[in-house]
Amino acid sequence: MDRVIVIGCPGAGKSTFSRKLSDKTGLPLHYLDMIWHRPDRTVIGSDEFDSRLAEIMAADRWILDGNYARTLPVRLKRCDTVFYFDLPVGDCIEGAMSRLGKDRPDMPWTDDEIDPGFLQWIIDFRRDITPEIEKHLSGFSGEIIRFKSRLEADAYIGSL
């Protein structure tokens, strides 16, 4: 396990898991949200994002935390391990709500309330994004570790 991606619904616990995995393995951690989003809540362009992503992926070891479905195929070609958080929508909403008002190392700002569009994205994730993820994962030859709960993810970290 040298090149890892961590994907799944927002609020599922990807970033918390990624931090713990990085601490246990020493793999450098990169939050895709920190690349895409600026502190003023604007975003960088796709070309700049792709360039920065390619720079990271050129290294021999890394963890990439985040979905960014458009870039999933190129990340899957380079990674050897996928951690897929496939949690129930209620758990993801609860996770997103629990981080309100808290500073996070994976986002350049703090939200005090949940954005209605973001909440809807969580609600629609299984319908709209999961099929695309599953399609891409079906052709992946590396290791896929799927978590159905945060307890499973915690147990995995504990086993390292």
Over the stretch 111-148, which tens digit does the pLDDT of each residue have? 888 989 999 999 999 999 999 999 999 989 999 999 99
Strands 29-31 and 62-65: parallel
Compute the average pLDDT of residues 97-112: 84
Domain 3-159 has CATH 3.40.50.300: yes
Residue 102's pLDDT band (cuts 50, 70, 90): confident
Using alpha carbons, select from 75, 74, 99, 96 the residue that is nearest to residue 87: 96
Tens of pLDDT along 40-80?
Answer: 989 999 999 999 999 999 999 999 999 888 999 999 999 99
Using alpha carbons, select from 93, 72, 71, 92 the residue that is nearest to residue 82: 72
Query: In angstroms, rounded to a whole number, what is the distance separating the alpha carbons of residues 118 and 111?
Result: 11
Q: What pTM does this model have?
A: 0.93
**Inter-residue contact 107 to 43 (CB < 8 Å):** no
pLDDT at residue 154 greater than cutoff 80: yes
Q: Can you give the residue ranges of every domain in the chain?
A: 3-159
